[in-house]
Amino acid sequence: MALILDAQKILIGEKLEEDYVVVVDEEEGKIVDIIERFESELTHIPVKSFPTGSILVPGFNDTHTHLAQYGANLSRPNVYRFTSRAELLDFIRDYIRKEEKDVYIFLGYDENRWKGEKTLTRRELDAVSRDKPIIVRRVCGHRAVLNSKAIEIVGQVEGLDVETGIAVEELPLKLSVYFPPSKGEIEEGILKAQEEALSQGITSITDITRPMHFRVYQKLHREGKLRLRVNIILYEEDLEAVSLAGFEYFFGNEKLRFSGIKIFLDGSVGAGTAAFFPDRGLLTKTDDELKGLLKMATDRNLQIAAHAIGERAINQFLNVFESLFSENPLRHRIEHYEFPLPEDIDRTARLGVPVSVQPNFVYLLCHEGQMYTRKLPSRISSRCNPYRRMEEAGIHYAFGSDNMPMDVKMMIKGAVEHPIEPQRLSMEEALYRMSTAGAFFSFEEDIKGKIQPGHRADLVVIDEESLEPLMVMVDGQILKG
């Protein structure tokens, strides 16, 4: 059965157009046609009309999530809301008294919200309890604090300072490996997080995740419970197993597929490990190590997604990439790309390296008085997420949330209300980067992400002013509105 969707504006290609409507085949789950509005009055096809100020766009595509982990973490207490160390410690003390767990993991603390206080250490957590293991992970995911009992359990871990209890990179990034949730918890979490994504109009994601999560995704797909389109990227430590299993990019189907491996080249600004010139932060790979990984992945038909926040990490990736390749058929990509050198922006475009950016970071971190402007010298913070410059250079980039948080409105506002005014995007540019542009990253630009005949009918109607979704459609079926 056909249905006509009539919104005031439609994103066709990269432009918002008026006077057109979209014809959808609900059974086939595909877009049939784009016709002028007056033509719809000459057909017998039912019309679903939306009010003035409505915009019809392809389903939003979050190109960088940790959705399965986020879902599993929904059962763990989040402590981001606390604005002092004392409040945080009081909450932990009270929680431990009420709840019985093998290990107590708290997520999302941010010492930058604590007025005039130092960061958290082992000593404060030991004062709460020396008998029960406590781990508190920072909001960026790159730093955690452990009490003495937790340190006793994990033993020697790279990046863990036993004296302070502060762990960077290895342990905080792999909490789900050191303390894995059950399959039931993972499944319940994915389903909850899926509903949260769909409610915002997110119909496709790339989940950078673990094999245990991938298995649960496959189970949900078999059982018909997976409604999102999911592209899976695993981690560097999974590379050998993936290769032995024979996985290559574009393995899977239109609902669940696999594309490659994520590697880390630096850390985060909040943890002090993002790499800047001359020697600020931490490069996690030598040039030779990065070269070896890129060659190995390419030989095995695997896409590399390289985490690089600081200018030095971005520069390293481009230097090594350019020394190896003259083209990029596997679409090896950079994640975050927050502080590129001006000359590296043009080089990124010339080399054909796609970039997944997080405009929610701009909204939360880049404005005057926020963390980036407080922790970084102005020579760096003034170059925060240069979207207009990237647009002009012709970089293929798209929006992702990193689940920090997964919030479409925040991502769009981060781009169109950029604190550095010359770097702001227009609304139609932001909507394009939030929807159409992401399909390229998973080699699906011929299947989804455009309002054109033959593409999947994954569509969202939003209110232009509030950015609230008025309708969410997946495979021609209306899930909301």
User: Is the pLDDT at 43 greater than 90, yes or no?
Assistant: no
| SS3 per residue for 76-88 | CCECCCCCCHHHH
pLDDT above 90 covers a percentage of the chain that reads: 92
CB atoms within 10 A of CB 208: 28
Query: Where exactly are the structural domains of the chain?
Result: 2-57+467-480, 62-66+182-448, 76-178
pLDDT tens-digit series, residues 213-248: 999 999 999 999 999 999 999 999 999 999 999 999
1 falls in which pLDDT band (50, 70, 90)?
confident
| pLDDT tens string 179-207 | 888 899 899 999 999 999 999 999 999 99
**CATH no. for 76-178:** 3.10.310.70
Give how far the C-alpha of residue 21 lies from the chain's centroid of Cα atoms, to the nearest Å.
31
pLDDT at position 113 is 86
Would you say residue 89 has pLDDT above 80?
A: yes
Confidence category of residue 159, pLDDT binned at 50, 70, 90 = very high
Give tens-digit pLDDT for 404-433. 999 999 999 999 999 999 999 999 999 999
pLDDT of residue 310: 98
Of 49, 62, 42, the residue nearest 21 (C-alpha): 49
Average pLDDT for 455-474: 98
Q: Token pair of 453, please?
A: 């005949």
Q: How high is the pLDDT of residue 73?
A: 86
pLDDT band at 326 (very low <50, low <70, confident <90, very high): very high
Residue 397 is predicted with a pLDDT of: 98
Structure tokens belonging to residue 337: 């790309």
DSSP E strands in 337-379: the ranges are 355-357
pLDDT at 88 over 90: yes
Q: Is 131 helix (H, G, I), strand (E, B) or coil?
A: coil
Q: Do domains 2-57+467-480 and 62-66+182-448 have the same CATH topology?
A: no
Cα(66)–Cα(64) distance, integer angstroms: 7
Average pLDDT over residues 108-131: 90
**Would you say how long the chain is, in residues?**
481
Q: How many of the other CB atoms lie within 10 Å of CB of 52?
A: 8
- pTM score, two decimals? 0.89
Quick one: average pLDDT of 57-81? 94
CA dist 127 and 30 (Å) reads 59
Per the prediction, the chain carries an average pLDDT of 96
Q: Which of 2-16, 66-80, 327-341 has the lowest mean pLDDT?
A: 66-80
Determine whether domain 62-66+182-448 maps to CATH 3.30.420.40. no
The CATH number, out of the four listed (2.70.70.10, 3.90.1150.10, 2.30.40.10, 3.30.70.330), of the domain defined by the range 2-57+467-480: 2.30.40.10
**Helix, strand and coil percent figures for the chain, each rounded to 5:** 35, 25, 40
Whether residue 101 contacts residue 92, with contact meaning beta carbons closer than 8 Å, is answered with: no
Tell me what the mean pLDDT of segment 127-142 comes to. 95
pLDDT score for 75 = 83
Amino acid identity for residue 346 in this structure: D
